[in-house]
Amino acid sequence: MRTIPAQTIVDKVAEMCIAANRELPADVLQAFKTQQAAEENPAAKEIFRQLIENAELSRETGLPLCQDCGLAVFFVEMGEDVRVEGMSLREAVNAGMVKGYKEGYLRKSSCDPFTRKNTGDNGPAIIHFDIVPGDKLKIWMMAKGGGSENMSRVMMFPPAAGWKGLREFIIKRIAEAGPNPCPPVLVGIGIGGNFELAAINSKKALLRDIDDTHPDPEVAKLEEEVLSAINKLNIGPMGLGGKTTCLAVKIATAPCHLASLPLAVNVQCHSARHKEVVL
């Protein structure tokens, strides 16, 4: 049994929340630069220029990359041989998030669904726990904005729809979203599992690096296929036209009921903020 003091988790989580909101992941920044060079449309080039400058400015000044610092979403993998001392793991993650959003001058966006009254501390954090073998605690943090999240969908298909049906749904969803979710987007796709697992997988898939190739070559091929199809939509950066509507498509699959074919499409804006820590 390994013991981790809750305070260590609180501090680490707070740091992650602040850093995620100020530092665009290196792979995303690199993708901006590569795509800026590839674009022929001057408006698309200009948007990339602004996004690159924005990322530099955020790093220098400590201002968040985007004013929508998102709901804080966590994926936690807790080793079976780990014990957290001082608070429950959930309390520790949540307290760290509240601390980070306060001390980092990050916007609090969480509110009551009916009265729309702001909870004031961006809480409660949305946490997905997983118990795994070992004595490590791994935490991923994602700052997920509302503009892109609103464009996400879950759809339960009949099995006969097949890949053709799924592919069509995904492409149409991104076409309908158009300029709303701050393109260029990244698209996380959950296929299989059930209603809720597809959704969780579609978001978790977004934690992979842009140039990370799916271990299953068949799935990797589908990711490529959808990416290239979406980029033919000519929505372009901020909807002004161009080659880059999407930077990456990441698929996560799971076995499903023989009567079902669940699909979840999680749309992630270009401000693809996430961090991970292993304790």
Partner 1 sequence: MAEYTLNTPLTDADIEQLRSGDVVYITGTIYTGRDAAHKRLTDTLDKGDPLPFDLKGALIYYVGPSPAPPGRPIGSAGPTTSYRMDTYAPRLHGLGLKGTIGKGRRSPEVREAMNATKSAYFGATGGAGALLSQAIKAAKVIAYEDLGPEAIRELTVEKFPLLVINDCHGGELYTTPDLEKALAG
Q: Using CB under 6 A as the criterion, which residues of the chain lie in contact with ligand SF4 when the complex forms? A: 66, 68, 145, 147-148, 181-182, 269, 271
Taking the complex as a whole, how short is the minimal distance between the CB of residue 80 and partner 1, in angstroms? 39
d(CA 210, CA 213): 8
Q: Identify the residue among 17, 76, 222, 238 touching partner 1 (CB under 8 A).
A: 238
Binding partner of 47, given partner 1, ligand SF4, none, CB within 5-8 angstroms per partner class: partner 1
Measured N-to-C along each axis, helices 162-177 and 217-230 cross at an angle, to the nearest 10 degrees, of 40
Of 6, 9, 137, 127, nearest in space to 71 by CA: 127
Residue 110 contacts partner 1 per CB under 8 A: no
The least CB distance from residue 21 to ligand SF4, in Å, is 10
Q: Does 224 bind partner 1 (CB under 8 A)?
A: no
Q: How far is the C-alpha of 26 from the C-alpha of 225, rounded, in Å?
A: 24
What are the structure tokens assigned to 36, written together? 């800026």
Cβ nearer to partner 1, comparing 120 with 159: 120
198 near partner 1 (CB under 8 A): no
Which alpha helices (DSSP H) does the chain contain, by range?
6-22, 26-38, 42-61, 89-103, 146-149, 162-177, 195-204, 217-230
Q: Which of 4, 14, 18, 51 binds partner 1 (CB under 8 A)?
A: 51
Would you state the structure tokens that stand for residue 190, as one six-digit string? Answer: 């959950």
Question: Is 248 exposed, middle or buried (CB count within 10 Å of its CB: 0-12, 13-18, 19+)?
Answer: buried
Residues lying near partner 1 in the complex (CB under 8 A): 47, 50-51, 53-54, 57-58, 61-69, 105-109, 116, 118, 120, 146-147, 150, 168, 171-172, 174-175, 178-182, 225, 228-230, 232-236, 238-241, 269-271
